[in-house]
Structure 1
Amino acid sequence: MTPDRITPPEIQPMPLLHMPPAIVTETPSGATVYRYSGGDAPATRISISIEGGLAGIATPEIGALLAPLWIEGTRDMDAETIADFIDYRGAWINTDMGIRTMNLTVNALNHNFDEILPVLSGIVSAPTFPDDRLRQVALRTAAAVGVERSTTAWNASAALRSMVYGDGHPLRRETDADLLCDVTSQQLHDVYFSHLHPANIKAFISGRLTDATLGEVTAMLNSIPATGTPEKVTVPEFRPSASRRTHITMPNAQQSAVRMGLLLPGRENPDFVAIRLLVLALGGYFGSRLMLNVREDKGYTYGINAVTIGYPHQAYMSISAEADAAYVEPLIAETISEMERMKDESSYTADEIDRLRRLSLSGLAAMLDTPFTIMDHHRSSVLAGAPSDYFARQQEAIYNLSAESLAELARRYFDTSALFIATAGV
């Protein structure tokens, strides 16, 4: 039978989605374990998050160096031995410094996970932050920071963060390249171990889990020493600047950067999920209003986007674009105009609402692809302080999308007179 290549297949509505829950337990030592078992691949991922992060670390320079140095040596293994051991077994290891936590992730095949776990235990319990590696990483990071700070994008973004977070806020601090090389191994050691305590640890385990694997992980977590004290790092309240507009002059810039910010309610607010959809409609995907207007119609920029940066009690929208200096003010004016236009329900089309709904639902569906993406959702929700029913809230908000609801949200939260605007360029 010849396939029909002319008639497009009928588009079916997305079925109701369900996020499988993670099983939550606590080890005898006090560490919290989130686990989800599933899938056919004989693989396991474990992520360990320790309270600390950018909001709890003494300086941004220590924060910039602690994560990459974390896996550069332990009491029993040097950096090269660790790297060779992990690579030979087809595993993968990564570290990062989050807002509230220091994070270590290992992906491994099940048949050699028991061999890798002792190495992971050493990295968590006895990292050494060796001097020779520290010098290399500090120089490399300082060079990268120096290059980044020379860009209009970085300067405009830093200026916006300064206005939104305000003086003294830990998340408005910027890494100083000149201070990176002053950080010592002892400082990294002291900061890390001041946070290390089983009660400060959350472990997220996913894959095709076995009882043996879970037992080994529990034993490993129970062996972690309590060198610090139990704590819960929180993001302080914003102290926004009274100034709403700033410009950083960069005479040799080829083009200018524009950053715009607007304070919004945090994740605990019942409107937060719907507000995220409003921001998505404004500038969160290629067919968004800002892309169609500012990029496609006006040609002011190659790209413009809007995202929601959320914390439990507060959030803000960040709009980013680069443009020729001559287009900066028109770009800002069109952005404000589009935000105002969204307050009118007649400005929405059925096609726009349908695009938003399909895009958002497909994003939720993608979270259900594998046990790893399912745990990614639970991990990000836990670390971000999102409500336990966050997935269901998102789905409900998506199904309730309408021109009237979006316009009402825009009228309530899109106060364009309260925008923070930072530009950098000539």
Structure 2
Amino acid sequence: MIDRKLAPEFKAIDNINLIRPEHTKLDNGCNVFCFNSGDQELVRIEWIFSNLRFDAAKPLLNMAVNTMLTEGTRTLTAAQIADKIDFYGAFLQVDYGYENSQVTLYSLNKHLHHILPVIIDILTNSVFPEKELETFKRNQQQKLQVSLQKNDIVARRDFNKAIYGDTIYGLGASFDNYKSLQRNDMLEHFKKMYQPANCTLIIAGKIEPDALLLIKDTFGNDWTNGEIAADITQPEIQPATELFYFTEKPDALQSAIRIGLPTINRNHPDFQPMQVLNTVLGGYFGSRLMANIREDKGYTYGIGSGLNSFKQGGAFFIATEVGADVCRSAITEIEKEISLLKNELVPDEELSLVRNFMLGSLLGSLENVFSHADKFKSIYFAGLDYDYYDRYALTVKTTTAVKLRELANKYLNFDQFYKVIVGKY
């Protein structure tokens, strides 16, 4: 019998074993990665496409084309696509990101021969019907109207625009951007982007041999290369010269604060120790920003910091919403916490807690084979290998308080922070 009066034994995390995929490149240029694991007859298949080069004159094409992939093909309406997927108990979704767009299918192996023809039809024959396009534009404009009433969303848009400039990362869609979407532009964009040479196919789950053969046959033989190579290069990031942005809302009860600066991405050797520093400052519920500004001062319900990592660069940011009357005081306290990191060593007990939290979070995020595939995507699309995670565990365990102080002085110059405030100041 377990003695429930005794706490479980504490055990350090020595190493983290990740499932590694089998890789095949099909004749049409499509890369296929298979994570074969699990007991249930379920597979997740992801078709991931690199977004085309950002065009400031037509900034929404990547997002709009991906979002409307399931709105109809030459042979199927949106309703027919949904009915076919639902009939076999499968689930289909499309997801858009700054750098990649993807189509994701969850299905039982035994139903794939019914469902995959629908997917290949979507990836080769989507037509973006005018009626559905008008509905999409109208719905997105309504969502935008609601979003722009929220201080935190306005602050995030303004911050990204300042940090990333006229790139996909800095895009803040406008009503006119949606209004100017044209079906012909979307069809041309679709033809260039959704082709096998620009696709990474990731399969995870209990993959039956017949199912794998069917997938490779369908998306290897029945899917031909496009006539034009996809241009997936992106414009260079040019941050703004202005550092302070204030949008006044006289009736606001809360002010949204978003501050930070451009910094390194995960390809830089300092990125992993910077993740440790970020966790100390504002990366978890027990962080210094939470302890000071939420628990001690009561200025906010929540505050946090983070590191964005993209192919062309990254950013460090702090985000919160505080009472409008304490906005300046909150910023003063944020600066104080950064100053402490630059001038004092993090105590051993606090650093030990952060290390355990970070390693435990990584281990806890690997709950199934899909999670392992997600970890792979993070490194694969950044041009990294699995030694990234080996180094991560070692870095978390060995980064010293002295190193954290050096990093704070190197990267966290508060005078160079972009400061965005929406509400009262």
| TM superposition score category, shorter chain reference | over 0.9
Q: 1:194-248: CA deviations, max 9, x gaps?
A: 2233211111111111222222222222222333533462444321122111101
* Contact in 2 for aligned 1:164/1:241 (Cα 8 Å): yes
1:372 to 363, 370, 375: 370
Look up the SS of the partner of 2:327 in the other structure. Answer: helix
Specify every segment of 5 or more residues in structure 2 that has no aligned partner in the other structure, as ranges.
none
User: Please, which moves more after superposition, 54-63 or 368-377?
Assistant: 54-63
In structure 2, the partner of 1:107 is 106
Matches within 5 A, 1:287-306: 287-306=286-305
| 1:18 maps onto 2:17 in alignment | yes
When residues 228 and 404 of structure 1 are mapped into structure 2, their CA distance, relative to the original with a 3 A threshold, is: farther
* Contact in 1 for aligned 2:48/2:101 (Cα 8 Å): yes
Partners in 2 of 1:358 and 1:205 — Cα distance?
Answer: 32
Partners in 1 of 2:274 and 2:302 — Cα distance?
Answer: 22
In structure 1, the partner of 2:65 is 66
* Contact in 1 for aligned 2:44/2:205 (Cα 8 Å): yes
Partners in 2 of 1:353 and 1:376 — Cα distance?
Answer: 28
In structure 1, the partner of 2:39 is 40
Partners in 1 of 2:423 and 2:227 — Cα distance?
Answer: 45
* Contact in 1 for aligned 2:276/2:355 (Cα 8 Å): no
Letter in 2 for 1:194: K
* CA drift at 1:345: 4.5
Partners in 2 of 1:266 and 1:185 — Cα distance?
Answer: 36
Partners in 2 of 1:61 and 1:313 — Cα distance?
Answer: 20
Partners in 2 of 1:87 and 1:313 — Cα distance?
Answer: 39
Partners in 1 of 2:14 and 2:109 — Cα distance?
Answer: 33
* Contact in 1 for aligned 2:98/2:168 (Cα 8 Å): no
Specify every segment of 5 or more residues in structure 1 that has no aligned partner in the other structure, as ranges.
none
Matches within 5 A, 1:309-388: 309-346=308-345, 348-388=346-386
TM value normalised by structure 1: 0.93
Q: 1:358-383: CA deviations, max 9, x gaps?
A: 22112221343211111111123223
Q: 1:175-196: CA deviations, max 9, x gaps?
A: 1124424423222111111223
* Contact in 1 for aligned 2:51/2:62 (Cα 8 Å): no
* CA drift at 1:388: 4.3
User: Please, which moves more after superposition, 66-75 or 221-230?
Assistant: 221-230
Look up the SS of the partner of 2:381 in the other structure. Answer: helix
RMSD: 2.0
When residues 396 and 301 of structure 1 are mapped into structure 2, their CA distance, relative to the original with a 3 A threshold, is: same
2:413 to 394, 412, 415: 415
Partners in 1 of 2:138 and 2:312 — Cα distance?
Answer: 37
Partners in 1 of 2:234 and 2:272 — Cα distance?
Answer: 20
* CA drift at 1:70: 0.6
* CA drift at 1:148: 0.7
How many pairs does the alignment contain?
423
When residues 179 and 162 of structure 1 are mapped into structure 2, their CA distance, relative to the original with a 3 A threshold, is: closer
Partners in 2 of 1:365 and 1:53 — Cα distance?
Answer: 34
In structure 2, the partner of 1:183 is 181
Identity among equivalent pairs (%): 27
When residues 57 and 31 of structure 1 are mapped into structure 2, their CA distance, relative to the original with a 3 A threshold, is: farther
TM value normalised by structure 2: 0.94
* CA drift at 1:127: 0.9
